[in-house]
Chains A and B, each alone.
Chain A
Amino acid sequence: MRDPDAITKVVIVGGGTAGWMAAAALSRMSGSGLMEVTLVESDAIGIVGVGEATIPPIRHFNEIIGIDERDFIRATQGAFKLGIEFRGWTRPGHRYIHPFGPYGADIGAVKFHQHWLRMRAVGRAADIEDYNLCAVASRQGRFGPVAPQARSPLAQLHWAYHFDASLYAKYLRAFSEAHGVVRREGRITRVHQRAEDGFIEAVELESGERVEGELFIDCSGFRGLLIEQTLKAGYEDWTGWLPCDRAMAVPCAHGAEGLTPYTRSTAREAGWQWRIPLQHRVGNGYVYSSAHISDDEATATLLASLEGEAQADPRPLRFTTGQRKSAWVKNCVALGLASGFLEPLESTSIHMIQTGITRLLHLFPDRGFDARGIAEYNRLTARHAAQIRDFIILHYHANQRAGEPLWDACRTMAVPDSLQRRLDLFRLKGRISRDEDELFAEPSWLAVYLGQEVVPEGWDPIADAAPADDIAAALEQVRNAVLAGTASMPLHSDFIARHCRAHAA
């Protein structure tokens, strides 16, 4: 039985990472003949590939659409990632890792880190990173399965990827087209709206061709061709908390450091610099606040710090951190940069596209476009973005870089109430407040609190229950399991060479 209200024509506007991820996810419907999915992109408009570093949930997305991991790594010059190293964020010279996966394991009702806080106060605990497999493996440059004899619940590997986003888009395009998604090349010159209610009817290409649809997915990037320029969704500006508004990006040749299995973020006077190692090159970029440094100075700082020869001219990006007030308006859903921008400090750009798609599939409309479904989508989208925003603000806020204007301002600013509440709770006894469906789990908050030296005044009183010697021994057991697990893993570069060396560039 066909549903007379079912959406039968979807048009995706823009073919970057967001557009092709949406196409790949919808291709199950196009493949079974229920829906025409058309993607319009212009060869003349470039892709903004800020999302080259990812977080573990991307594996779920790839699995659902049926992507083979090693094939995908080979096709995208990809590499593996176990976390992010933050250099100089707390203060110059300081560094810490925000690793994937947990630290140790809870003992009874008591969180592992509560035992650690107690033991640390009496000098009987090692660095918190020693209790996390991904952190230790990052330091040692390792990636790969833990050998059978070293396997332990305390040594579980969690990973994500670094890859070339334009190659990922190309990979997803091949996949989507094979499953019935139709690509139309051309620049959009006009958007047609229904006279009676402003719903989008069609986009018109330079050639005069009209591409009609019932549901439009705006993946047109920052400008938001449909969601903003046409439907005036409005924008909520977050630059009061996250003042960086520009980035300069440049790839370079590999230097001595090689294929490290983690992203690096190095704090700079007016922002921070990323390092994303791929197989064939290293991606670099300086995210900065134009109020605190000129474009030329930022470019010079970036180029002076490259580990190898620059492989292109530095490419400037401008953005306003914030979110569309409504990511879904009428019959248009915005994904990726069209829905808002959060700097890629925690590698969340691609993830936000992914969750947008998942939410859209969960609340997939019919031609009636019920306002309550749309409201629910917008509510969840806004919540998700605000949670990630708070996590990013925490990095900037809890700094000790005294004397640098950007950092002084961030340290002394009033943070959102939703973050202040979490900080208050952590500062007292190291307790971590978290929302149920929130992206960043307790270990992530812990990594950044401790890394940024938000030090609790005490610890949970129930951590005092067990004898100190027992707890010290339990901590040592975790540390040894992590050491043994890591030691049994291959080097990341060897793993790539053996299993997923990229096709020649």
Chain B
Amino acid sequence: MSAPAILIAGGGMAGWTTALALARPFRGTGARIAVIDTPGPDVSLGPLAPAIATLPSAQDAHWALGLPEHRVVRAGRGAYRLGEFWRGWDGREAAAFLPFGEVGADIGGVRFHQQVARLQALGETASLADHALSSLAAAAGRFAIPPHDAADIRATLDHGLHLDAEALTGALLRPVALAMGVTRIEGGIGEVELCTDGLIAALRLDDGRRETADLFIDATGPDARLIGALEAAWEDEAAWEDWAALSPFDRAAAVIRPDTAEPAPFTRDAAHPWGWRRTMPLNGARGEIVMFASRHMKDERASQMMGGAEPAAVTSGRRLSPWTGNCVAVGAAAAIPDPLASAELALVHAAALRLARLVPWPGGWRAEAEEFNRLWRHETESARDFALLRHLLNRRPEKVWAAAREASAPEPMDRRLALFAARGRIIRTEHGLYDDALWARAFIALGARPRHHDPLADGLDAGMLKARSARIRELAARAAASMPRHGDFLARVNAQDGPR
């Protein structure tokens, strides 16, 4: 069969990740995969993503891309994260931890968080996070990779990463993709040539060269040079859905700064009167994001806080059909999630790996595009709502936070809030980026207390529940104490294969 030619516009993290996702499976088929490596800073994941936090699902994605995780960590100046510390969202200065991985175990369909809620109703004081090894290890600055032995409580650990996007792209994604046979074309993107049927015919580079392909990938970031050019021909189908109305925070800045302290194995999110600030420890540095309301803080003040980084307008939103015609948008050209969702890379991974399984050439593309976009809508919706939870459930006194609470929740969110408030129930998000247990933990970390726990939890023997709870906490405490310090663990990862 004849093999497709795929042209990826934009050489940032989104473009090279997509190149890699396509290059591996297509190696040996004769497919031509080329990246137009545009000059300038990488905005392919959006303006707030010099440093990113990944979800635990990135482990599987990196495996599928043929990237051993320790190489990703080394190349991306990476550090591990066992979860997120959330401070200030309740209006007091209490901190709560959102642990990744497994916490406790369901019993006959009764979720662990419901078991803990029952125990609390009986007067026990242990919180859900007290049962999480990730939580105890994070508080102690410790980290480990989960062993394969499922009987070991350390098997409940799971982690995401903090990564320096440009470092990772330059030191790993690009060289591996090139070694896989991807063609690199250096130059800026000029004009997008359209056919009369609304498909892309070719791209002009700024030096006049003309590049054609069967399928065009738009990884040009918020400018969305390719799919943006299709908007006129496809009208609503390719258009951008703006999420600005969901949040009162309209300005943001992001930066990576040197930091020689031992990196904490978690993300720190702090709510402030003017907005919030996220800190992502890296190896020898830290990534920071602030998002704020322009009515409550001046750009100058934010810039000072961020070591001179310039704030810009927040542009979160998504395309409902990032695959339109013969163009597929990835990264910020397709969606800009709220950074609190930690979803930038997860969305690129999901889109790129799905695209590799749906490349339509030779042949038509409509059925594939519909399938691609259908799943995309679920994924982006879950990212939108997961971040929105921290707006809707905050209990801060400031006006701007009150406004955040009052944003009208989109349809599935409304049901989700009501069901949790009543009985602590979680409704399934099909094809979402976060599992049910993580949703439950997010509610609980924000201090949401259901009116009553699941009545089925009352059917379980209280003595048995207490004993199990004590046992889990004891095992977790012992395991946490035995884990290496995160800094030591990172030093070993970075020393493998010798110094780089």
Interfacial chain A residues near B358, Cβ < 8 Å: 431
Q: How far is the CB of A378 from chain B (nearest CB, A)?
A: 11
A3 close to B367 (CB less than 8 A)? no
Interfacial chain B residues near A368, Cβ < 8 Å: 422
Stretch from A287-295, A305-313, A433-441 that touches the partner: A433-441
Interfacial chain B residues near A366, Cβ < 8 Å: 422-423, 452, 455
Interfacial chain B residues near A363, Cβ < 8 Å: 419, 425
Give the most central of A29, A31, A437, A465: most B CB within 10 Å: A465
Q: Which of A34, A362, A372, A457 contacts B459 (CB 8 A)?
A: A34
A421 close to B109 (CB less than 8 A)? no
A28-B459, A428-B368, A457-B363 are known contacts. Are A370 and B26 too (CB-CB below 8 A)?
A: no
Q: How far is the CB of B356 from chain A (nearest CB, A)?
A: 6
* Bound CA span A466–B24, Å: 11
B25 close to A462 (CB less than 8 A)? yes
A436 close to B430 (CB less than 8 A)? yes
A5-B452, A363-B425, A366-B452 are known contacts. Are A461 and B4 too (CB-CB below 8 A)?
A: yes
* Bound CA span A462–B353, Å: 12
Interfacial chain B residues near A433, Cβ < 8 Å: 371, 374
Interfacial chain A residues near B456, Cβ < 8 Å: 28-29, 361, 364
Q: How far is the CB of A114 from chain B (nearest CB, A)?
A: 9
A109 close to B371 (CB less than 8 A)? no
Q: Which of A370, A424, A461 contacts B366 (CB 8 A)?
A: A424
Q: Which of B361, B427, B430 contacts A435 (CB 8 A)?
A: B430
- Contact of A300 with B by CB under 8 A: no
Interfacial chain B residues near A1, Cβ < 8 Å: 121-122
A34-B459, A461-B26 are known contacts. Are A373 and B108 too (CB-CB below 8 A)?
A: no
Closest partner residue, chain A, to B431 (CB atom): A436
Closest partner residue, chain A, to B414 (CB atom): A372
Interfacial chain B residues near A373, Cβ < 8 Å: 418-419, 422-423, 425
A34 close to B425 (CB less than 8 A)? no
* Bound CA span A429–B364, Å: 10
- Contact of A453 with B by CB under 8 A: no
A437 close to B368 (CB less than 8 A)? no
* Bound CA span A16–B142, Å: 56
A465 close to B26 (CB less than 8 A)? yes
A109-B64, A372-B414, A464-B28 are known contacts. Are A64 and B423 too (CB-CB below 8 A)?
A: no
Q: Which of B1, B25, B31, B366 contacts A458 (CB 8 A)?
A: B1
- Contact of A253 with B by CB under 8 A: no
A465 close to B27 (CB less than 8 A)? yes
B1-20 interface bits toward A, Cβ cutoff 8 Å, 1 = contact, 0 = none: 10110000000000000000
Q: How far is the CB of B112 from chain A (nearest CB, A)?
A: 14
* Bound CA span A361–B27, Å: 49
A370 close to B363 (CB less than 8 A)? no
Q: How far is the CB of A109 from chain B (nearest CB, A)?
A: 5
Interfacial chain A residues near B64, Cβ < 8 Å: 109
A457-484 interface bits toward B, Cβ cutoff 8 Å, 1 = contact, 0 = none: 1101110111100000000000000000
**Chain A, 213-239, CB within 8 A of any chain B CB:** none
A425 close to B367 (CB less than 8 A)? yes
* Bound CA span A467–B28, Å: 8
B366 close to A465 (CB less than 8 A)? no
Interfacial chain B residues near A110, Cβ < 8 Å: 25
- Contact of B164 with A by CB under 8 A: no
* Bound CA span A464–B451, Å: 57
A109 close to B370 (CB less than 8 A)? no
**Chain A, 3-19, CB within 8 A of any chain B CB:** 3, 5-7
Q: How far is the CB of A313 from chain B (nearest CB, A)?
A: 42
Interfacial chain A residues near B498, Cβ < 8 Å: none
Q: How far is the CB of B175 from chain A (nearest CB, A)?
A: 21
A1-B121, A29-B455, A109-B64 are known contacts. Are A376 and B427 too (CB-CB below 8 A)?
A: yes
B109 close to A458 (CB less than 8 A)? no
- Contact of B91 with A by CB under 8 A: no
A466 close to B28 (CB less than 8 A)? yes
Q: Which of B109, B356, B363, B366 contacts A429 (CB 8 A)?
A: B363
A64-B108, A370-B422, A425-B367 are known contacts. Are A29 and B4 too (CB-CB below 8 A)?
A: no
* Bound CA span A31–B459, Å: 8
A109-B356, A421-B367, A436-B430 are known contacts. Are A458 and B362 too (CB-CB below 8 A)?
A: yes
* Bound CA span A305–B113, Å: 56
A366-B452, A425-B371 are known contacts. Are A461 and B359 too (CB-CB below 8 A)?
A: yes
Q: Which of A34, A427, A460, A467 contacts B357 (CB 8 A)?
A: A460
- Contact of A317 with B by CB under 8 A: no
Interfacial chain B residues near A427, Cβ < 8 Å: 367
Interfacial chain A residues near B427, Cβ < 8 Å: 376
Q: How far is the CB of A374 from chain B (nearest CB, A)?
A: 10
A431 close to B368 (CB less than 8 A)? yes
* Bound CA span A368–B356, Å: 49
Interfacial chain B residues near A375, Cβ < 8 Å: 415
Closest partner residue, chain B, to A429 (CB atom): B363
- Contact of A403 with B by CB under 8 A: no
B432-475 interface bits toward A, Cβ cutoff 8 Å, 1 = contact, 0 = none: 00000000000000000001101110110100000000000000
Interfacial chain B residues near A462, Cβ < 8 Å: 25-26, 29, 356-357, 359
A7 close to B455 (CB less than 8 A)? yes
Interfacial chain B residues near A465, Cβ < 8 Å: 25-29
Interfacial chain B residues near A461, Cβ < 8 Å: 1, 3-4, 26, 29, 31, 359, 361
B415 close to A372 (CB less than 8 A)? yes
Q: How far is the CB of A449 from chain B (nearest CB, A)?
A: 14
Q: How far is the CB of B119 from chain A (nearest CB, A)?
A: 11
Residues of A within 8 A of B (CB): 1, 3, 5-7, 28-29, 31-32, 34-35, 64, 108-110, 358, 361-364, 366, 368, 370, 372-373, 375-376, 380, 421, 424-425, 427-429, 431, 433, 435-437, 457-458, 460-462, 464-467
* 28 A-B residue pairings within 8 Å (CB atoms): A1-B122, A3-B455, A5-B451, A6-B458, A32-B459, A64-B109, A108-B24, A108-B25, A109-B64, A109-B356, A358-B109, A373-B418, A376-B419, A424-B366, A425-B371, A428-B363, A428-B367, A429-B360, A431-B368, A433-B374, A436-B431, A460-B357, A461-B29, A461-B31, A462-B25, A462-B29, A462-B359, A464-B29
Which 3 pairs across A and B sit closest by C-beta, in order of nearness? A462-B25, A424-B367, A465-B28
**What would 7 more interface pairs be, CB under 8 Å, given A108-B25, A424-B366, A462-B359?**
A29-B458, A35-B455, A366-B423, A431-B368, A433-B371, A465-B26, A465-B28
